[in-house]
Amino acid sequence: MQASLHDKKWIRHENLVWIMIAQALAIFPLLLQLPIWLWAVWLIAIVWRVQIHRGHLSFPSTLVKAIAAGVVVTGLLLSFSLQFNVHALIGMFFCAYVLKLIEFRTKRDGLLLVFLGFFAVASQFLFTQSMVAAFYGFITCLVLVAAWKALYLDRPEKTSVKLRSSFVLLLHATPLMILFFIVMPRVEPLWSLPALGGSAKTGFSDEMSPGDVGRLVKSSGTAFRVEFDGAEPESSAMYWRGLVLDYFDGRSWKVYPRGQKVQQLTASDSIGESSNSYYRYTVTMEPHDQHWLFSLVAPISVVVVGDEVRLDQRLFLTTKNPATKQVQYRAVSQLSDSHGPQSFLDEKTLAENLLIPESLNPKTQKQVSAWLDEALQPSQIILRALSLYQESFYYTLEPPLLGRHSIDDFLFTTQQGFCEHFASSFVFMMRAAGIPSRVVAGYLGGKKNPVQDYFIVNQSDAHAWAEVWLEGVGWQRVDPTAAVSPERVENGIADALSESDLQLVGSGAYGEFPWMKSLRQRVDAVGYVWNRWVVSYDRQSQKGVLEKIFGGAEPWRIAMIVVIASLALGLALFLYFYLINRKRPLPIAIRLIDKFIRKAENLGIKRSQGETVSSFARRVAVERPELAQSTLALAAMFDRIAYRGDVSDLDKLRNLIGDFPKMTNKYFLIKSSVNR
Amino acid sequence: MINSKANDGRLFSSIEDWWQQRFFRWLDRKIPQSDSYRLNLKNLYILPTALGWVFILFLIVLWVLGSNYQNNLVLALCYLLSSLFIVAMHHTHANLSGITVQASNAKPVYAGEETFFSVQLSSNNKKGHHALQMRWQTGEWAVVDITGTNDEICLVGMLVDQRGLHKPGRLLIESVFPLGLMRCWSWLSFDVQALVYPKPKTVEEIPSLFGTEEEGRHTQQTIRGDDFSGLRSYQAGDSLKHIAWKQFAKDKGLYSKDYRQGVSDERSLDWEAFRHLSVEERISALCYLTLYFSQQNLVFSVNMPGHQLLLDSGDAHCEKVLRLLALLPQTVD
């Protein structure tokens, strides 16, 4: 009745060491995330336990343990300044796990430490879900399982044997794990947990001043990756709309602070497949700590699992929760250059999109009123403005500084700028001319990764453009940057900038060797696949995969298929083992004896016609007395198998015949005495 | 091989006892008595251990953590460990499956001692079988590993309090290897028994029991090497003259006649000599005397209700008497 026979028994030295190694592996990634003094706690615990083992210290009393616990808890509270976040919780867990070491003496303690080790691996994944972390976690599990299994053995075992048997266990578990991972239903969070504290992320903020986009372009890193399902638009048409900035304070553009009517977007599977202008795509967005998502105009359906997506009237997407970790979403867009109401703009929107600080930029305002005096149509004014840029403007990442009248300075003095300068000055002119307009911030283009067929949109693809409202057209995209530097739009940032500017983009990621580029693409592709199919595998992708594999995602179908598959597998295994066991022993024995006879004939003892196995064996024994023991024994075994159906010695027969001419009497006796 | 104490707290309440009885009755039909068992799907049972249930709880915690943080790697870890649980089930089963178990009679012991039945485990599995635990229904654990395709002989002991022929009940063989999450076990029934001699009880007044003075003196003579004292198994080197051909002809095996040298005294073990003691005490006292006489190499006869043995000495005689005492019914007189 007692399964846990030795639970109270003291741990063996070997197991102690293994548990400590496994613990070290499990906590190392946590130590990198937690306050540095916890290293000291761990080292003290190890030294303490080792001293206990060597007999220099005794196991701590309850009082000592309470004091130790009190000290680390106080330390943690101070370190996290009384905040109750995930880091603090993991810190608590870490201390409990590490301090358990000093009172670790029985097998039961060992089991607890192993379980806590698995938990440590899990908490490491809360910080990072990279492929490296997963691999490291697997290695940790390997050692944990080895230490775990050793607790159930009463004899020492070689390290290689330990690790190999642990590996075999995990290897056997892996196919089932993959099946579980694919088919187990995903659920919404059951309750909200303290969030992870994030670090500063790069990306757009909700306001844009001159130089902001330029800074973003210089930062390396990926903004998001996009995989199209079906048709892909031209890279020059990929205006990834992020924010609509419609409030200008003279220097920065902001999202108008008033709450706008929002519309909730959900999945709409009913969108027609046939239409050419629909694009379906999956975006895997890097964390940027903000609420917005990027999409092509105009988004029709956007789904983020576990979050709510809202569509602002100004046509930008926000989520309820900030993107503190990678976000994956599926979207359908109907590509067009214009959108929104065509005939009529409501008063409030009109007022907002015409507002400019009256006192600023007088030169620009004067220029615009000159155009208005010519009684030009709005579309003509737009062309005028764009042709202004074509005259003598210069596209650069390092524009000169601008003064108080920033737009005047840019348009009439420096004439060097980056996309936000162009967009900002253009919108200012349009508003001055009474044309409702606004700035849109986002990304333009994307580089295709040929390895996995997806687009990478980097921070260096950051872009700003303008949108004007024209009667009968709606909101029309106008990219003034295209007027000054069409290469930017057509071919991407790398072609639009001068050599010296190029060094600044994406921390010098451009202009590298071809092999380096191809290697980087491959590495990125692997990471992308990992993020797309493992880290971001959610209900939506699960549905897709299940439909692809099983032809549907209904629970009954999955259950039925899994049950049928496991029954089939079980039957196959059963038949396999059944047939192996049912393999007629006699033919095997005869084959073995034939081998023996061949070997004996090689020794020069010929079997005569019709001679029985036992008489032949006796002859062999007479001719080669040093082999007598094993020869007679194998003949007797063969007789038992052939005439009594006793198959228990089949393996021994195989071994004996395998060793045949080497197995002299001396070795035979030694071996059989070992056997007994 | 390690023998270790069975759990101290194994106290069955009557309900458990009742279930146990029912279970064993059912088992008698399911796994009937046999000389040799090959452990397989038919006679092995498997269920999670207490640790296994704790592990399941732990898996649920991990799953909730992974779901709440929508963290696929935590979920993957949870699924990996779940699969490990299932794999461990198969490994635990495979650890017992394919073993052939045989048990043989125990050597005689005295009441109050531990009797050891030798259990032979053999297997063709090259991977071996690890951390196998065995005990009789009311016995102590023995732990054994089978490495390679060698046979292991393991002594599984149990404490016996009463003299007589003792049947050990069913043999429990179980293992939780490799991860302790699953316990796989079988209850095997062997037709084996242990002869338990009475517990010897020291008798103070030995002289009064001796046979008559004259008789004693008469037989007190040295017999040199030709005093037949019994038969023993033939050993290589024994003289052909001493082989017990009669027994050999009856196909009882090869025995040597044992001839002893020594001084022998004639004594009598008399049932009536201990009238003042109860039956069991009397048997214990006679047991003591038997051992005492044999140790002194004395010749003695036996006079017990229903059994009379003539004067004799030697190990065989001693064993015969002890056996007689062991099997004496409790209600003599």
Q: What is the pLDDT of residues B312-328, one digit of tens each?
A: 878 888 888 888 888 88
A56 as an active site residue: the answer is no
Question: Is A477 strand, coil or helix?
Answer: strand
Is there a contact between B176 and A3 if contact means CB atoms under 8 Å apart?
yes
Same domain, B193 and B211: no
Task: Look at residues B178, B176, B173 and name the one whose alpha carbon lies nearest to residue B50.
Answer: B176
Same domain, B222 and B184: no
Same domain, B270 and B180: no
A463 as an active site residue: the answer is yes
Residue B6 pLDDT > 70, yes or no? no
Window A:139-168, CB contacts with B under 8 Å: 141, 145, 148-149, 151-155, 165
CB half-sphere exposure, A571, CA atoms < 13 A: 6
Q: What is the mean pLDDT of chain B?
A: 79
Residue B50 pLDDT > 90, yes or no? yes
Residue B28 lies in a domain: yes
Q: Is A530 on the interface with B (CB under 8 A)?
A: no
Same domain, B124 and B220: no
Mean pLDDT, range A353-361, rounded to an integer = 86
Q: Which residues of B touch A319 (CB under 8 A)?
A: none
Give the chain B residue whose CA is nearest to the CA of A654: B124
A 10 A CB-CB count for A30 gives 23
Task: Look at residues B115, B119, B114, B112 and name the one whose alpha carbon lies nearest to residue B194.
Answer: B115
Residue B193 lies in a domain: yes
Residue B318 lies in a domain: yes
Residue B236 lies in a domain: yes
Q: Can you give the pLDDT at residue B204? A: 73
Percent of all residues in chain A with a pLDDT value above 70, rounded to a whole number: 87
> Distances from the Cα of A64 to the Cαs of A37, A548, B222, in angstroms?
20, 60, 77
Residue B141 pLDDT > 70, yes or no? yes
Q: Can you give the pLDDT at residue B2? A: 37
Window A:577-636, CB contacts with B under 8 Å: none
Same domain, B60 and B186: yes
Residue B332 lies in a domain: no
- Residue of B49, B73, B122 with shortest CB distance to A4: B49
| Nearest CA distance, A31 vs chain B (angstrom) | 19
- Residue of B64, B74, B82 with shortest CB distance to A180: B82
User: ω into residue A298 within 30 of 0, thus cis?
Assistant: yes
ipTM of the predicted structure?
0.75
Same domain, B193 and B274: no
What does the pLDDT look like over B186-245, one tens digit per residue? 999 988 888 999 988 887 766 444 444 434 343 333 333 455 566 767 666 666 666 777
B300, β-bridge pairs: B267, B312
Same domain, B167 and B226: no
Residue with the bigger pLDDT between A544 and B198: it is B198
Decide which of B197, B229, B259 is a domain's last residue: B197
Question: Strands B299-304 and B266-270, how do they pair?
Answer: parallel
Q: Can you give the pLDDT at residue B79? A: 96
Q: Which domain holds residue B292?
A: 207-327
Q: Which residues of B touch A537 (CB under 8 A)?
A: 72
Cβ–Cβ under 8 Å, residues B267 and B299: yes
A 10 A CB-CB count for A82 gives 9
Question: Is A87 strand, coil or helix?
Answer: helix
Q: What is the mean pLDDT of chain A?
A: 82
The lowest-confidence range among A42-46, A87-91, A634-638, B258-262 is: B258-262
Place of tokens 């029991």: B209
How far is CA A207 from its chain centroid?
30
What does the pLDDT look like over B95-127, one tens digit per residue? 998 888 989 888 888 988 888 998 988 887 778
Place of tokens 């005047």: A408
Q: Can you give the pLDDT at residue A8? A: 61
What does the pLDDT look like over A36-64, one tens digit per residue? 999 999 999 999 999 988 888 888 888 98
| Nearest CA distance, A146 vs chain B (angstrom) | 10
Q: Can you give the pLDDT at residue B306? A: 79
Residue A292 pLDDT > 90, yes or no? no
Mean pLDDT, range A547-566, rounded to an integer = 81
Same domain, B167 and B223: no
Mean pLDDT, range A463-490, rounded to an integer = 84
Cβ–Cβ under 8 Å, residues A591 and A638: no
Decide which of B151, B179, B197 is a domain's last residue: B197
Task: State the pTM of this model.
Answer: 0.70
Decide which of B138, B163, B197 is a domain's last residue: B197
Residue B202 lies in a domain: no
Cβ–Cβ under 8 Å, residues A320 and A264: no
Q: Can you give the pLDDT at residue A268? A: 52
Question: Is A311 strand, coil or helix?
Answer: strand
Residue A396 pLDDT > 50, yes or no? yes
What does the pLDDT look like over A102-154, one tens digit per residue? 888 888 899 999 999 999 999 999 888 889 999 999 999 999 999 999 998 88
Cβ–Cβ under 8 Å, residues A41 and A73: no
Same domain, B83 and B161: yes
pLDDT band at B43 (very low <50, low <70, confident <90, very high): confident
Residue with the bigger pLDDT between A343 and B102: it is B102
Query: How many structural domains is chain B composed of?
Result: 2
Q: Can you give the pLDDT at residue B301? A: 83
Same domain, B232 and B151: no
Residue B333 lies in a domain: no
Task: Look at residues A513, A514, A464 and name the one whose alpha carbon lies nearest to residue A489.
Answer: A464
Same domain, B242 and B185: no
Q: Can you give the pLDDT at residue B219? A: 39
Catalytic residue among A312, A409, A479, A501: A479
Q: Can you give the pLDDT at residue A509? A: 54
Same domain, B191 and B251: no
- A164-178, A290-304, A484-498, A614-628: which is most confident: A164-178
Separation between Cα atoms, residue A208 and residue A219, nearest integer Å: 16
A141 as an active site residue: the answer is no
